[in-house]
Chain A
Amino acid sequence: MVLALPHPLRQGEAAILAVTLGPLTRGQTVEVATSDGVPIGAAAPFGPQRGQGAGTVTIPVPAGVWRDGRLALRLHITTHDGRSRPPTADEVKEIRLSIIGPTPQSPP
């Protein structure tokens, strides 16, 4: 999938991915990388797993991986046997991009 920055990152801003995971078994890790293999981050559940979804995890995107404001992503899921494969739509349900940064506000 390809994501695009809404605008060049300003000083103090960062791009962040919100990755919504489905049920994962223990030991499964979802790895997020650029299409040319630069790692962005990984998501794995913590604590006992009860067959529910593993929730939404947030992963910052390094500034250096954007190309002309776009980012092509590749996802893999590692499994117990050490193999790596693309996640199913049930394992990774959604990816959302946000820009965050400090927001000055008037004191109340």
Chain B
Amino acid sequence: MNFSRRDFLASTAAVAGASMLPFAPARAATAKYIRYSATSDEGKAMLRSYATAVQRMVNLPPDHPHNWFRNAFVHFMDCPHGNWWFYVWHRGYLGYFEETVRKYSDNPNFAFPYWDWTVLPQIPNEMFDGALTPVSEAFLPHTKDLKTFTAYIKPAMKKYWDTLNAAQRKQLDIRGYSSFDKLWDDVTGCSHGKCDPGNEAFAATDRARYLSRENPKLDDKTAKACSPHTVLTGLLPVDYYNADVTRSFTSSKTASHNVMPGGNTQFSVLEGQPHNLVHNCIGGVGPWDPGPYGNMTNFLSPVDPVFFLHHANMDRLWDVWTRKQQRLGLPILPTDKEELSQLSREPFLFFVRADGSYVLDGRAGDYLSTERFQYEYRHGFGDAESAQVAAANPSAQVKAPVRGTVAKGVGSVQLSAAPSSPVVMAVKVSRPAGTGASRNFDLLINAPAGVTKVAADSPYYGGTIGFFGPAMHGMADDATFTLPLPQAAHTAALAQSPTANAAAPAASATLEVRLVPTNGSPTTTAAVKAVSLQAL
């Protein structure tokens, strides 16, 4: 069920202060705090305040809820990745922690600066000063090595674990932490005597951050993932969530925010590209393979103070996307009531307030707006650019795909006449296995049965699909390819339809699609497993 404008107007007042509505403002009406670029004068002043707070929090005893490492364990125990709660959970995490840093920094106006890696594809220089780097004397007494860290923090964490309520334990169960020992396995990267250094969340001081003052730049691939083109494309989707990840601002919809990324995870552009690659680059993925890595590579990443500048920028891009949507008159959240409810009611039970108390009744809906934390961002990359995209206001509405059927490796799908926009065909193909099996196949559309080879100008030619890399021995695998439907095949199909006549082509036609090896060897034909048409 979708919200109507009447629903929206009638219910806005009733839910003020509770969950957001899809068209509601997502920003604080009057922001009290400003998140500046880390490269601005104001941002640099904030970094000095931040350094003061980090040092003080590192020095707190390990059983203090504001201890620097304890805060990183909030992320370790509860962070979502690869799902649609990624942005909203991290907004709550940063929001509460910003209030705590404000307290310890002695700066009543403190707000996290953001690191705009599109503009500056290297760690801001100030982040190599004093306690702003985990490779510093400030951290050494606690993170010299795993033995030191374990003796320091593990008893306090076990004590905290024993205080957790049933709802919190249920969340940890979903995450795979049904016991404290299982949780600790991911700190050490070891389980049942087998160790994977790449999964060790702990990072020793001398290896806590790969990038250094002498080598501060993101590598080329990571910089590309932060480039204007990548970021602007990540801002283009018009749906908060869409089952087609290429059209979705957020990643997969999962049953819980604690479902860990796996084979079915679909990463949105901004999460999968700049977010993931910046984490990995700073942690040394590549040069430090196969681990252990620096803090940023695993889920104790908030031990590195740069984490919060990185995630402030991710949060800023969510805000940029939100305002782009509002300029276009588009929803900023799911418009289906059940879907919005599912998003909003998800429990977030591990945040810590600035007064040291725990947020035991939090829900995702509490953090869909910046209102709770009363901040806003000063200009960064994407603001002006996404405004231009919104002003262009192009393109037609996306139409629903037409799904076809398959019998004996041949697909069949209904084509409407004279579409007003181009049509794309998605073909799922089962790759033939075996030595010498073809990798390239031509797609034939309504070709007579005897046709096994066509030229590119044939009316039966629908395009070529190609598998890359060798097939696994003895295994078949499926892949879906997307091809534009050639105008010639389109016209021919309609003209040849049984309902066509001399005066006019048919109103619709059935397309039969099959595959033949491009090299003409008929013994290795691939089978069509699914077919659909999508008008763009």
Contacts and interface: CB of A to CB of B under 8 A. Distances in A.
Interface of A: 1-7, 10-14, 16, 18, 22-23, 25-27, 29, 31, 39, 41-50, 52-60, 62-63, 73-75, 78, 80, 86-105, 107-108
B484 A101 contact: no
B436 interface: no
Interface in B222-236: 222, 224-225, 229-230, 232-234, 236
Closest 4 CB pairs of A and B: A53-B263, A26-B198, A55-B265, A27-B289
Given A6-B536, A95-B479, A108 B8 contact: yes
B290 A80 contact: yes
Would you call the interface of chain A mostly helix, strand, loop, or mixed?
loop
Given A13-B394, A55-B262, A101-B395, A7 B199 contact: no
A46 B236 contact: no
B279 A46 contact: yes
Contacts of B237: 100
B431 interface: yes
A49 B246 contact: no
A73 B225 contact: no
Given A46-B280, A87-B468, A57 B273 contact: yes
A43 B390 CA distance: 29
B493 to A, nearest CB: 17
Given A26-B291, A107-B5, A12 B395 contact: yes
A98 to B, nearest CB: 4
Given A16-B246, A94-B480, A2 B464 contact: yes
A42 B222 CA distance: 8
Contact of A56 (B201, B232, B233, B245): B245
Given A6-B536, A7-B536, A50 B262 contact: yes
B260 A47 contact: yes
Contact of A103 (B245, B269, B280, B397): B397
Nearest to B328: A102
Given A27-B290, A39-B221, A44 B280 contact: yes
Given A87-B468, A100-B237, A12 B394 contact: yes
Interface of B: 2-5, 8, 23, 81-82, 186, 189, 196, 198-199, 201, 220-222, 224-225, 229-230, 232-234, 236-238, 244-247, 252, 260-269, 272-273, 275-277, 279-280, 285-286, 289-291, 293, 297-299, 324, 328-331, 335, 389-390, 392-398, 421-424, 426, 431, 463-472, 475, 477-485, 536
Contact of B469 (A3, A13, A92, A107): A92
A108 B263 contact: no
A48 B298 contact: yes
Nearest to A87: B469
B246 A58 contact: yes
Contacts of B263: 22-23, 52-55
Contacts of B394: 10-13, 101-102
B253 to A, nearest CB: 13
Contact of A75 (B225, B264, B390, B468): B468
Contacts of B265: 53-56
A70 to B, nearest CB: 10
